[in-house]
Amino acid sequence: MGAKTLAAVMLVIAAGVVGGLYLLSAPHPVNASSLPQHVPDPANGEVMYNAGGCISCHKPAAGQGEGDATLPSGGVPFNTPAGTFYPPNITPDRETGIGAWSDANFVNAVQHGISPHGTHYIPAFPYSSYGRMRVEDVLDLKAYLFSLPAVKGKRRPPEVMLGSVGEAVMRRATGLWKLLRGDARRIVHHADESAPWNRGAYLVDAPGHCGECHTPRNFLMIPIASEKFQGGPHPEGKGKGKVPSLIDLVGRKRYKDADDLANALQFGETFGYDKLSSGGMGAVQTNLSKLPEGDIKAIATYLVGLTGSRQ
Amino acid sequence: MSNRRVLTVASGLMAVTLATSAVLAASPIEDRQAAMKAVGKAMGELAKIAKKEKKFDAATVKADAQTIHDKLGTAKGLFPEGSDKGHKTRALAAIWKDRSTFDAALERAEKASLAMTEVTSEDQFMPAMNKLGGACKNCHDKFRKPEE
C-alpha cells in the first residue's frame, strides 16, 4: 500500500468516526402524541417552580430596565468553568420567551434538554434531574409559567471558547454526553418508607435537582452514582469553596432532627440558621421557603434519612 | 544601674511587649471570627423567641440586639486587604473584589440590628427579625464559603 492510499484510508476512517459521532449525538425529541392526557393545574406548577428553583437562574440581570426581578425573564450570567451562560427568558412572551411553545416543546426542553429548534441544551440547565419528574408535573409547570405576565427579554449567546463555532460543537457534543450519562430514571416508590419520605425523595431528586451540585462528577462531568450527595466542588469553579455533603446530617450534628432541618429550610437566618446561606444556597433556601409546609417537611424527612446505607 | 542600662532594659522590655501584642493582634481573621461568633450567639437567643421557645422580653431583645450591633460595628474594620489568607477563613475573595457591595451589605445588617434595639413590643419583633435575618443571609450568601 502506498503512502497516498494509506492517507486516503485514514481519511475515510476519520470521516467515518466523525460521521458516526455526529449521528450518535443526534437529539431525539418526544412527539406530542406520547404526552399523557392531562388537565394542567397551575397551582401545582407553582410548587414545581419553587422546588425547581427556576427563578435562581432565569432571573433578570440587575439593572436590566423593564425586568421585574420576581419574573423569570432571564439574563443574569451563570459562570461555569466551561464558559458563561445567559439563561433565557421563560415568561410567556411569544418572541423572546416561551409563549409560542407547545406542550411537546416544553417537555423536550425541560426533560430531555432539546430546544424547539432541535439542538441540545448545555447541561448547566439541570434537565437530567428534571427528566425524573412526572410529565404531568412538567405540564403543570408550563401552565404556571404561562400564567405569569409576558416580559420582553434579550437573548444573549453564551461566552465559550471559539465563540459560535465552539457553542455549536459543545451543543452537538452534549448529545454524546447524554448517551454516556444514560437516560434519567424516574423516581421509584419505596413501599417500606413513609409517604413524606417518598414525596421528599421525589422533590429532592427530580425538581429540586439537589444532586446537580451535592453529588460529585467524574471527568466527563457525569454525576457519580455511588457517591450520591457526598458533596463536590462548587459549580462556579475554584475559590468558591466546596458544596457540602448531605449524608448523615444528624449524625454529623449539622441538624438535630428532621424538624430542625425543616425549620432551617423554611425560615433560614430568621430563625438563626446560618448554614444554608453560603455558596448560593441562600437563594435555594428562599425558593424552598415558598413550598407548602408539608413539602418542606417531606424534603427534610428524606434528607435526614440519607445515612449512607440507602441513598 | 546606670541610666544607660535602665534605658536598654526598658527598651528591650518594650520591644518584647510590642512584639507580643503584635502577635496577639496579628490576625484580623481571628478577631472577626470572634466577633461573628458573638453575633451568632446573640442571634441564637433572638431565634429562640422567633421559634417561640422563649417568651418575648423587650429588655433581653434590646441587649442581644445591642451586642449584634456593636460586634458588627467592630467587624467593619476587620476585613483589611490581604486578610483572605494566613488563617483558616470562609471569607470569599469577592469581599475585596467588590468592596462597595460588601460594605453596603454589612451596613444593611448594622442598620437592621439597630432597628432591633428599638423593638419594644412583641408585634414589632418578627418583622424586625425577618429584616435582620435577611440582612445576615444577604451578606453570607455573597461573601462566605460554605462550611466544610
Q: Residue B139 sits in which domain range?
A: 28-143
Distance CA A54, CA A41 (A): 18
Taking an 8 Å cut-off on Cβ atoms, the answer to whether B136 and A269 are in contact is yes
pLDDT (mean) for B28-41:
94
Q: Residue B14 — pLDDT band, cuts 50, 70, 90?
A: low
Domain with residue B45: its CATH number is 1.20.120.10
Which of B46, B93, B144 has its CB closest to that of A239? B93
Asked if the structure places residue B148 within a domain, the reply is no
Separation of CA A21 from chain center: 25
- Of A291-295, B72-76, B87-91, which has the strongest mean pLDDT? A291-295
pLDDT at B1: 52
Residues of B in contact with A279 (CB under 8 A): 141, 144-146
- Write down the domain spans for chain A: 32-181, 195-304
Residue B65 lies in a domain: yes
For the whole model, what pTM was predicted? 0.89
Does A63 lie at the interface with B, CB-CB under 8 angstroms?
A: no
Report how far residue A128's alpha carbon sits from residue A121's, in angstroms, rounded to the nearest whole number.
11
Please give the grid coordinates belonging to residue A299.
424534603
What pLDDT does residue B27 have?
85
Query: By the 8 A CB rule, do A132 and A187 touch?
Result: yes
Q: Is A257 on the interface with B (CB under 8 A)?
A: no
Which cell numbers in the block locate residue A305? 434519612
The span from the CA of A109 to the CA of A210, in Å, is: 19
Residues of A in contact with B46 (CB under 8 A): 272
Q: Give the C-alpha separation, A231 to A215, whole Å.
A: 5
C-alpha distance from residue A216 to each of A57, A168, A246, A281, A286 (Å): 21, 27, 12, 17, 24
Q: Touching check for A260 and chain B: CB below 8 Å?
A: no
Longest dimension (CA), chain B: 72
A215: distance to nearest CA of chain B, Å?
Answer: 15
Nearest-CA neighbor of A299 among A212, A214, A213, A205?
A205
pLDDT reported for residue A82: 85
pLDDT at res. A239: 81
Q: How many domains is chain B built from?
A: 1
**ipTM higher than 0.90?**
no
- Counting as low any pLDDT under 50, the low residues of chain A are 310-311
Contacts of A278 in chain B (CB under 8 A): 90, 140-141, 144-147
- Closest chain A residue to the Cα of B127, Cα to Cα: A270
In angstroms, the separation between the Cα of residue A277 and the nearest Cα of chain B is 5
- CB pair distance less than 8 Å for A278 and B46: no
